[in-house]
Amino acid sequence: MYSERPIHGGIYESRGDVLAVVHNHSPSVVPFSVTDTPLRPMFHLAALIGPELPVWDIRDNFQDTSLLVTTMEQGRDLARCLGDRRVSLMRGHGCVIAGKSIREVVMASVYLQVNAGLLLESLRLGEVKYLSPSEIELMSASQMRPTSQERAWEYWANRAGRPTGENGR
Ligand SMILES: [Zn+2]
């Protein structure tokens, strides 16, 4: 069994709307979990990650640990930080993405990482223009359309060498 299953347990317990959870250690995302520079969407396909991403720090309530989320108390604490959002960063560790389907959380995970990489590049050049709240709302609605998710899922499934099947599964 994966030691960090309380990440998933804590979120499923607190969010009746969540049917899929991704946890990963994206190296592009981690820098934003340990600095004051916020990770916000500046690339249209990253609208799905939401306007503000909280950073959960396991040390706030559990002192020094391995940083792994191995107890339900820790999982619940992370779920509280996530609140009703789709994404939370985890200080010095990675991130968690919650949503209504595997396709949705995979799409948000991919573009969270892409946006983090683009933002790191952009910050080197100067001041960054982020997506506005309305742009985030409009683009998210477009990304949540089944056809948008089908197309992206098919592409990623093909890239991974997996058949998408009759229903794109
Ligand atoms: Zn982890």
CA of residue 161 to ligand 1 center, whole Å: 26
* Res. 169 pLDDT band, cuts 50 70 90: low
Measured in Å, residue 26 CA sits from the centre of ligand 1 at 10
How many angstroms is it from 5 CA to the middle of ligand 1? 10
Which amino acid is located at 155 in the chain? Y
Which residues pair with residue 95 across a beta bridge?
24, 89
Indicate if the pLDDT at residue 97 is higher than 80: yes
**Residue (of 66, 63, 59, 54) closest to 95 by Cα position:** 54
Q: Which domains, from first to last, does the chain contain?
A: 5-159 (3.40.225.10)
Is residue 162 very low, low, confident or very high in pLDDT (cuts 50, 70, 90)? confident
Known catalytic residue: 4? yes
Question: Among 4-18, 39-53, 133-147, 152-166, which is the least confidently predicted range?
Answer: 152-166
Indicate whether this model's pTM tops 0.85.
yes
